[in-house]
Chain A
Amino acid sequence: MKLTPQVLELNWEATAERIKQFIKDYIEKVSANGVVLGISGGVDSSTAAAISALALGGDKVLGLIMPEEETYNPKDIEDAKLIAEKFGFKTETVDISKILKAFYSSIPAFNPEEKISKGNIKARTRMICIYYYANTQKRVVVGSSDKSETMMGYFTKWGDIAADISPLMDLYKTQVRKLALHIGVPKEIAMKPSTPALWPGHLAEEELGIKYEILDLILYGLERFMPPEKIAEQLGLSVETVNKIKERWVANEHKRRMPLTVKLQYRTVGADFRIPRTK
């Protein structure tokens, strides 16, 4: 197997169709009124919202724009609104600044220097707002997480990852960009540098220390059980770089699972209780 950008090519029409059917089928099975999701103006949430609207019709989709003072970016808000307009769904703006300030001032141990912990409060606050709309309007929460970030554990546990369905989670970031272009997301949004926006100037590739074009090929190789030495050789990287990615992927499994419990009884939630999903 040769790790070239071609291996990440999919039939985008068929992929879009599969994802649309998946969303539609789920919403019908659970008899929901529609979906709700946070939209940041970035590629992942724009694509998740756009494909939801294509699957269900825009009237079934609600996008929540949730800015806060520290990372306020009018361009991102403009982009989120542009996607909503283009794909015909409604948005609502929830300014979370006051909620965040209440958290910061209420937590005795709060330390503004702990920027990841502080940023996680932002992601979890957004999750709370999204689920409020889901509960009160009987909507399903659509997650925007992609495969690159999920494998790397590059998300906030119980925060931006929290959702009922995550239709893009089996697509690497560079694949989400291609799908975005295919379904008509404007190029400047599809190719926009990714940011979790947990602090000002926060850029995913800078924090991860690698370009998505390379990361996705490393992850693709790891997914297919390729030894790190072989991946490194093919991509002209050091084995250390590939091993670091591999270690990070494995170490973050705890973020992708139900909470671990001690086995005490006959069948245990998250372990050997294997019940099919009916809703």
Chain B
Amino acid sequence: MNQLKVALAQMTCIKADKNKNINKMRTFAEKARKEKAKLVVFPELSLTDYVVRDLLYELAEPVPGPSVEKIAEIAKENKLYMVFGMPEKSEKAESVIYNTAVLVGPRGYIGKYRKMYLPTHSVFEEKRYFRPGYETPVFETELGKIGLIICYDVFFPEVSRALKLKGAQIIICISASPAVRRNFFETLTAARAIENNTFVIYVNLVGIEEGLQFWGGSRIISPSGSIIKKAKYNEEDFVVGEIDLDDIKHIAAFVPTIRDLRPEIYQKLKDMAEAL
């Protein structure tokens, strides 16, 4: 199956209320099923809301864990794949939390990605709370090969490139980006799609928290960088767009970035980055 409908659930989240957010996810999932979407994507930390600060210590859960099970149940009921964000508590060490994207499907929990690049500048304080991830898994599903990234990761092309080199056809970027950074994300999400010949599905939070207005503007971007479907700016929205994985083949011949990769540059980059 190379054509599929993807739903972008650009939701406002209820602060620190996991049950209410799961209920919202259920409503969006049902809507997605009705519109014949196979995949529905929610924003970064959509289980808890983005700005929860010290409450993260009580809100974080293992993955898989109780909330993942509930959401996996929704996926099963609606025969859907779902991607959402949540704070993940390590089962091996106390007070170790990850900012995690979770993929569940019609047969339950599939896998997770832990955010590698944690913004800790300007209004962001993620390193205060989270440990960075070290893995870039790609999940082979009946929809295609899916890689996950989270928000600030999009500024680091190597994360998406790693996913591409593992065969990703769809890169899903869940996000909580405030309005002053909109231009960056609109440019970079398209860049990641073009340079990797992949679809990029970007789903951003909306709503105002601590004076930050999350701008929404979620989108499905084709491997040529064009926007297939876009949600509204600054308000809750739900849109469905269709992608055709065969488009990757067409564009890869036209913009053969992976054929033209120069592996030797990576060692040089490593040396230069270490000497910065």
Q: A residues engaging B (CB < 8 A)?
A: 18, 21-22, 25-26, 267, 273-278
B52 A18 Cβ-Cβ under 8 A: no
Query: With A and B bound together, what is the CA distance between A170 and B11 in angstroms?
Result: 27
Chain B positions within 8 Å of A26 at CB level: 208
Query: With A and B bound together, what is the CA distance between A273 and B55 in angstroms?
Result: 10
Partner of A277, one of B128, B207, B210: B210
Nearest 8 pairs between A and B by C-beta? A274-B53, A25-B208, A274-B54, A276-B53, A276-B51, A276-B52, A278-B15, A275-B54
Query: With A and B bound together, what is the CA distance between A275 and B54 in angstroms?
Result: 6
Q: Closest CB of chain B to A278's CB: distance in Å?
A: 5
Query: With A and B bound together, what is the CA distance between A277 and B213 in angstroms?
Result: 14
A276 B210 Cβ-Cβ under 8 A: yes
Query: With A and B bound together, what is the CA distance between A26 and B211 in angstroms?
Result: 9
A273 B179 Cβ-Cβ under 8 A: no
Chain A residue at smallest Cβ distance from B213: A18
Chain B positions within 8 Å of A22 at CB level: 208, 211, 213
Give the number of residues in B that approach A within 8 Å (Cβ atoms): 18
Query: With A and B bound together, what is the CA distance between A275 and B234 in angstroms?
Result: 25
Q: Can you sample 8 A-B contacts with CB below 8 Å?
A: A18-B179, A21-B213, A275-B53, A276-B15, A276-B16, A276-B49, A276-B51, A276-B209
Chain B residue at smallest Cβ distance from A29: B208
Query: With A and B bound together, what is the CA distance between A277 and B53 in angstroms?
Result: 10
Partner of B208, one of A21, A267, A273: A21
Chain A positions within 8 Å of B51 at CB level: 276
Which chain B residues (108-137) contact chain A, with CB distance < 8 Å?
125, 128
Query: With A and B bound together, what is the CA distance between A25 and B211 in angstroms?
Result: 10
Chain B positions within 8 Å of A273 at CB level: 54
Chain B positions within 8 Å of A21 at CB level: 208, 213, 234
Chain B residue at smallest Cβ distance from A165: B211
Chain A residue at smallest Cβ distance from B12: A25
Chain A positions within 8 Å of B54 at CB level: 267, 273-275
Query: With A and B bound together, what is the CA distance between A159 and B88 in angstroms?
Result: 44
Which chain B residues (1-51) contact chain A, with CB distance < 8 Å?
15-16, 49, 51
> Beyond the given A25-B208, A278-B15, could you list 19 further A-B residue pairs with CB under 8 A, ordered by the A residue number?
A18-B213, A22-B208, A22-B211, A26-B208, A273-B54, A274-B54, A274-B125, A274-B128, A275-B53, A275-B54, A275-B55, A276-B15, A276-B16, A276-B51, A276-B53, A276-B55, A276-B209, A277-B209, A277-B210
Chain B positions within 8 Å of A267 at CB level: 54
Chain B residue at smallest Cβ distance from A167: B211
Q: Mark B63-96, 1 if CB is under 8 A from A, else 0.
A: 0000000000000000000000000000000000
Query: With A and B bound together, what is the CA distance between A267 and B57 in angstroms?
Result: 14
Query: With A and B bound together, what is the CA distance between A18 and B178 in angstroms?
Result: 12
Q: Closest CB of chain B to A5's CB: distance in Å?
A: 21
Chain A residue at smallest Cβ distance from B15: A278
Q: Closest CB of chain B to A157's CB: distance in Å?
A: 21
Q: Closest CB of chain A to B260's CB: distance in Å?
A: 36
Q: Closest CB of chain B to A171's CB: distance in Å?
A: 13
Chain A residue at smallest Cβ distance from B129: A274
Q: Closest CB of chain A to B25's CB: distance in Å?
A: 20
Chain B residue at smallest Cβ distance from A267: B54
Chain A positions within 8 Å of B52 at CB level: 276
Query: With A and B bound together, what is the CA distance between A277 and B55 in angstroms?
Result: 11
Q: Closest CB of chain B to A257's CB: distance in Å?
A: 16
